[in-house]
Each structure stands twice: as structure tokens, then as C-alpha cells.
Chain A
């Protein structure tokens, strides 16, 4: 990777949506929208709602399916000198297995990110991520199918995230990424109905950054595999907080919606921070947190 800045799954489409705004070659990695075995319709609208310093979404993992991704989207991404990370989702262990297998033999995928943390689907999703035993089994299932590095993406909607992190590490996760969205809701005063058709959705944006930092800190103390920090990063300063805690990389999510140049701004901002503080190597800052 050229740098530790990636796009977060579900916020950057399949890369091409932002290729007119961002030179994808400059990103550390593109993490694509969660892929399932079969195409998924997604949830009925309305699917999003703005909140204070953030937004709720209940997309429901609408995606074109793993086969169409490999055939139609991957060739475009292969043109770029950037790592492609395929985020994968299954309703069953078997689906995780099949999706992992297909992507592992596809040319141009550099790693898999296992989504056991989507709050907006009825089956699978977050339910795989809230029980350490199930989370571990999904991890080892994927691990058995692939030679690619396996990233496991955790949900914050648990009481003890470090326990889940330890369980997936033990099951073979090469990298852990966190956090996915926090479940939330919002009420329309005129109709007294939820703003989202799905009633609940996932909260993202700067509102969740303190929660993300806390959880990254908790996980980093308990695991030895690399951690990717995600949650509410809008600026280089936000990203540096995660890196100082010990995250080896960061993902930029909702910020892309607000500012399509967000990933590049973070990369530039980190560079400038290092120059201004006379730090030669980004690794000299990672994990330098003084509790």
C-alpha cells in the first residue's frame, strides 16, 4: 500500500463512482461495497436520514452480487495501482465460503474484508458479529477458503468488542477493522413515523468518532494483529488520532459523501503533519499514544 488511507466499504461504490473526483492510484486501498453471493435488492426507501454531525442509513446491502462484480467492476479497478479489498457478506457460513472462494480466484483482489457487522439486514450481518463463537466460525470459514489476507470488520453494537476481536484473531483473522455503524433511529414529528422505512439504521459520520476511538483503543490493547480504524474520520487530524492510538491504517467512509475529495485531503493532511512535525516515517507516529 502507498499509504494507510482507504475508502470504507459502502461509501465508495465500486470505485468508479468516485474515479472522476479522486485519482484512485493515490489511495492506499479501495474497499468496495459489500458483496453477496447473489445480487441483493436492498431495503425499501426511505433509506437515509441526516442527523446531528452524521447520518443514518438502512441500505440493506444492495449490491450486484459477487459474479457481476468480478465480471463488470473488477476489470476497471485492475487498471489502477491500488489495492482492492473486497468486502464480503453472507447469510450463512456456506455463502461466506462461496463468496470468498470466487473472489480468491479472481485476478485483482488483494484482500477480503469480512462483514459481520451490517446492522441493516435480517439474516447474517450483525448477528454474526455479536457472538464471539459465531464471529470466530465465520472467520475460520473464510480463512479456510482463501489465501488472501482476511480482514474482519467488527460491529460496535456489542458490550465487549475486545472479546469479539480476540475471538476472530484466534480464528485466524489477519487484520481487524472497526467500527461499522452504530444502530440508531429518528422520528418524523409530522407523521410520528420513523424517518427510515426500516425503522432503525446505522449511524455514521463525525458523531461516532469518539466511540470508534474508544473501541479501537480497547481492541488494540487485546490483540496483536494489525487494526484498521474506521468511524467518523473527516480530516487528517481525525485519522491521526486513530494512528496515534495504534491503528496501522484508516478507512474514510461517510466523509466521501460530504466531500468526494475527502480521502485525498486526509492523505495530503497526514503528509503535511509529518513534515510540520519533522517526522520522517508514518510508522514513527503509529502507537505513540500516551495514556
Chain B
């Protein structure tokens, strides 16, 4: 088994936007190359408060001979991430990873559509980096939605990865005014369903709206989910998501070990 626990040393933990932080962690070279969509469980080394580790998706990863650097782009959502945000350079963290199944990269079609809401950009940024390298002949279109211009994150980097980016904000302070799914829906006819791969990550309402748009279409979409987790390795069954099983019946799957990437069609939203 590839995932393990590593001590990481914080190189940088910078607030790049209000309540959004970019953490760069240096760790041992034995850390396995993560796949886009995988995550780590992170905690402050030697501290039991916050009690549980926090699941954070991997934003970027690089290695050289002597060490690896894991980049985590995260939003302060509660007490745990608030404490994480206070960590300074050289602080030590414990990292368990890489965890979960990444995006399915075996059946990438010639049209790639990436739909990100807010901090959902984090795993999709790494995915974009990967797809651009592995599928240079596919055309790529990125839709990025934010609440307002003051909450934009990860856009500069995305601009270096993809030329076709449509940006929108809920309040119209940057790009088009509207929800990212609405903006995508306006363009949907450009994409032949059978020859398009859609990847999405964002708030529950965004995924729900995307599911509605794609409901009767032939598009298939892979989405990365977020849920509170205790273990991150499939043991506690805490991070359950309701899905339709093979026979169409309700089942609960673990976001950590069965996901975090799921087929949007299988997810049962409330």
C-alpha cells in the first residue's frame, strides 16, 4: 500500500485571498506521486487540538532528488482550518497520503470541460496540469465561478495552464454575472456529449445544479466531493455519501476510500 504517514515541514502558508491559504509542505522523497483528485489528511504534529486530521485535496505536487513539495490550497471553514491557517514557516505537520481515488484518466475524450466553484478549483487545477500534459490534442474549456471578485483564488495559475477560461461571479464583480453552471449551460451546445469529458468540483448547490442540467443528457461528469472525515482511509464510515448502486438502490459510499471522485449520475442529492 502506497499511502503512509509523513512528517512535513511548512515552507509557506500564505493568505492569498481573504480566508484562503496556500500551504507548501516539504516532505520525504518517499511520498508517492499523487494522482489529480487525491487528498491528504493533515494535522499539526504532536498536537491533539484540533482532534481530527483535516482532509485537503492536493493542489500541486513536485519533487526533486531530496524532497517533495505538496501544495494545498484551502479555505478556512471552521476551527481546524483556522488553526492550520495560523501555522508559520518551519512548523511541523503530519501528513497521511496520498489518499482516495483520483479522477479517472483512462477515458479522457477530445473535449475537456472543467467546472470549478470557489475553492473547488484546488483538485481541478492539478487535473488541468495533468491533462494538458497527457492529452495535448484535446480541447480544454475551464469554467470558474466565484462569489465575487474579492474571493477569486487559483485563477492566475489556471491562466498559465489553459487559454480558454470563462470566469463568472455571483455578483458580477468579475467576469460574467451568474452561477458557473448557468454560464456553462449557455455554451453546452458547443460540446458533443459523447465526445466530451466533464470534471467538476464545488459547493453542493453547484453540483446539484450541474446534475439537473446534465440529467437527461448523454454527458458523463466526474465530480470530486468533500465531506467531514475522521480517518481518511475507509475505516470509520463517517464520510458517507448517498449514491445509487448498480441496481439503482440507495447505498452509502465512503468519500475517502470509494471517492472522493464519483460519477455525478450516481450521486443522490437530497
- Alpha-carbon separation in the docked complex, A214 to B254 (Å): 35
Q: How large is the interface on B (under 10, 10 to 19, 20 to 34, 35 or more residues)?
A: 20 to 34
The residue on B at minimum CB distance from A53 is B51
The residue on B at minimum CB distance from A42 is B252
9-residue interface stretch from A97-105, A124-132, A256-264, A276-284: A256-264
Residues of A within 8 A of B252 (CB): 41-42, 44-45, 62
Q: Report A172 CB to chain B, min CB distance, Å.
A: 31
Contact A59–B250 (Cβ < 8 Å): no
| Interface secondary structure of A, over-half rule | loop
Contact A45–B241 (Cβ < 8 Å): yes
Contact A55–B3 (Cβ < 8 Å): no
Residues 1-44 of A, flagged 1 when their CB comes within 8 A of B and 0 if not, give 00000000011110001111100000000000100000001111
Q: Report B268 CB to chain A, min CB distance, Å.
A: 10
Q: Report A209 CB to chain B, min CB distance, Å.
A: 12
- Alpha-carbon separation in the docked complex, A259 to B237 (Å): 16
A54 contacts the other chain (CB 8 A): yes
Residues of B within 8 A of A18 (CB): 233, 235
Q: Report B207 CB to chain A, min CB distance, Å.
A: 15
The residue among B4, B234, B238, B239 with the most chain A CB atoms within 10 A of its own CB is B238
Interfacial residues of chain A within 116-145, with CB under 8 A of chain B in the complex = none
Contact B236–A260 (Cβ < 8 Å): no
9-residue interface stretch from B59-67, B107-115, B223-231: B223-231
Q: Name the one of B94, B231, B242 contacting A257, with C-beta atoms under 8 angstroms.
A: B231
A87 contacts the other chain (CB 8 A): no
Residues 70-101 of B, flagged 1 when their CB comes within 8 A of A and 0 if not, give 00000000001000000000000010100000
A49 contacts the other chain (CB 8 A): yes
Interfacial residues of chain B within 26-52, with CB under 8 A of chain A in the complex = 43, 48-52
- Alpha-carbon separation in the docked complex, A195 to B98 (Å): 28
Residues of A within 8 A of B43 (CB): 258
> Which residues in B have some Cβ–Cβ distance to A below 8 Å?
1-5, 43, 48-53, 80, 94, 96, 227-231, 233-242, 250-252, 257
A50-B50, A50-B228, A260-B233 are known contacts; what are 14 more A-B pairs with Cβ within 8 Å? A11-B231, A13-B233, A13-B235, A17-B257, A18-B233, A21-B5, A41-B252, A42-B252, A43-B240, A47-B239, A47-B240, A51-B51, A55-B52, A259-B94
> Which residues in A have some Cβ–Cβ distance to B below 8 Å?
10-13, 17-21, 33, 41-55, 57, 59, 62, 205-206, 234, 254, 256-261
Question: What are 6 A-B contacts defined by CB distance under 8 Å?
Answer: A17-B234, A17-B257, A47-B238, A53-B49, A57-B236, A257-B52
